[in-house]
Structure 1
Amino acid sequence: MKIVVHVKLTPEAKQAAALSATLRSVNEAANRVSAVAFEHGVPREYELRKHTYADLRSQGLGAQAAQHVIKKVRDAYTTLKANIKAGHLGKPGSKRSRKAEAKPIAFRPEAAQPYDDRCLSWQYDAQTVSVWTIAGRFKNVRFACSADALKTLREYRQGESDLIARDGEFYLIATCNVPEAEQYEPGGFIGVDLGIANIATTSAGYKAAGRGLNRHRKRQLDLRKKLQRKGTKSAKRLLKKRNRREQRHAANTNHIIAKTIVAEVERTSAGISLEELKGIRQRVRLRKPQRVALHSWAFAQLGDFIVYKARRAGVPVVFIDGAYTSQQCSECGHVDKKSRASRTLFICRNCGVVAHADRNASRNIARKGEAAWTAGRESRVPATP
């Protein structure tokens, strides 16, 4: 299983200037390669290399850096094509998709640049890296990370690392290939209902209320509006300083929730049943005031955190179709839209059972997950002689 580890570089002034100049140079080169690729109808990587490699080398880029620039550009076009095909830029032929296809892909001056082991080497004991720049190779560039992250890097780092610049700071994002724990046979399934008012509710009784996170987001939104209206230099400086603070807070909250859920499921030797939430923003129709809450909540992120933590612990995970799970009674199976009496209350119109709406939905998700797991298992019936 591949995960990424973020480490913060703490370079000296001369090293920081070289890293900054390197990112600007490779991304300027990437924009030139992108223009050539667009002009030639985005050829395959080998063909694109024939058109651009010599030019990149003549501009002073090293051999490995030039190869990575070309690959980065080709990968960007592959991603764009996949996004258009999946409908992430609107329907095929829409104004947004036509606009994306009408011009070459542009790279920001501080966009990430991949480094392989020839361009970047790690010294874990000293917590330094040796990194290639356009000003030569710099050794003993210090980095900082947690003890757990350092252990993961030491044991499992494999493949490329990306150098990025963010708000004047430099970071390395390293790929680690962590072995998965052996998956056990679950004794049952715990359903997880994801929502906005309650971020996660499980059929085992755990509930992560979203009140605090929603209040935090509203405060951030109000503050952004206030600073944007003010428009002074100090307001813009504060806006930049607070950039991504909400994202970090939400990610930390999702990590805590995912860890709690996986730990409880592992303790009971059960499996996890999750709703398939892909495309939920396109399917759900909400009033305008509700859209901010829907589009600011990291639907996929929490699900991804649960999945990767479960895989590291060997916990089985199944995805199910979440249709009607909030309208179906978990006791008798009766489906009726009117049974959802309110946002929090479920009253079955058939058997009269009263339950918390999210708890009822999580039980339905758990039952569907167990059925999906049973249907997907290999038959244990002995072969006919």
Structure 2
Amino acid sequence: MATPITIEGILRRMLEAVGDSREKIFEIGEDSRSEYDQLKNELKQIQEKVIEVIRKTEQTELHSRFARNRLAEVSKHFADYSDEDVRVAYEQANDYQVKLAILRQEEKQLRERRDNVERRLMRLKDTMERAETLVGQITVVVNFLTGDLQQVSEMVADAVEMQKLGLKIIEAQEEERKRLSREIHDGPAQMMANVMLRSELVERVYEQQGVEEALKEIRDLKKMVKDSLAEVRRIIYDLRPMALDDLGLIPALEKYIKHIKDHYDFDIQFSYLGKPRRLQADQEVALFRLIQESMQNVHKHAKATEVHIKIELKPTLATVVVKDNGKGFDTSVKKEGSFGLLGMRERINMLEGKLSIDSKHEKGTLVMVQIPVKPAS
């Protein structure tokens, strides 16, 4: 009996076909780019040869002119010169004429070759641009097929609008969901689970040890609830600090660090190199989040007493260093259920930057981030 064809199967095969097509177009674009680079080098060599041939032609023309004048002089005063002088003058004039003809032919061939290479470069450039456009369009199609855009499609009827907005909406939603899930998993979720366990413990203490012991447990329970509430408020604060939009990266960090000092038991030293300036909004948010995530890791895992934060902004590069004196960790071991480091790497990759981590057991951790930056428009 034949296996029934399902919508999922059709979509899967469609996605596979579209994906294969995208890869083939990408290969065409890469092959064209490789050939384009080779032809550019060839064009440069041809242009250098043309210049050299022109120089030789000009020199040969000068020598040929002198040789012709010499031959004319010998021919005019034939009786004053020997046969050998006449022969030499004739051969020199003839040799320069032959060399000149060869050089002009070589120059003509080089110019034709140069023009042909330039035309091929134009065609290859057009092919690369079309391939890049097609790959981008196919990527949009793949994301539309795999993503949940039903609500967006109801609001945005124009296909061009959907193409522009679809990927940005998907990316923003997924990143926010990942970040919030990491925050809640490592914070309030665990705290509330502990609250539930402690509340059950209060009942048993009350039944077995009396009211006074139960009240002690309740006081501990209230402290846990208070800490959980503070963590929830911190997450809400972390969603989008207003100072970042209003004042910029450095003032927002100074305010955030003051907040950390007021709530956590470790010393923070913050230094900034360079003249404070605004960056593009997405870059400021990214740098703020990276430092924020590093501080959360220090608080939750490092058990550090001192943290040093350093920022250096150059015209095209931002460098962030976060160093603590905590217990450190083995960077080669992936911890189950830990999302902090993964989240940092995701952000760095999106910004086309570099992340390096140096950490050893009981020797602290040093995190260095470098990303290319642009001034605010």
Normalized per residue, the structure richer in strand is 1
Q: Does TM, normalized by the shorter one, top 0.5?
A: no
Indicate the TM-score class for this superposition, using the shorter chain for normalisation.
under 0.3
Q: TM-score, normalised by structure 2?
A: 0.22
Q: TM-score, normalised by structure 1?
A: 0.22
Whose Rg is larger? 2
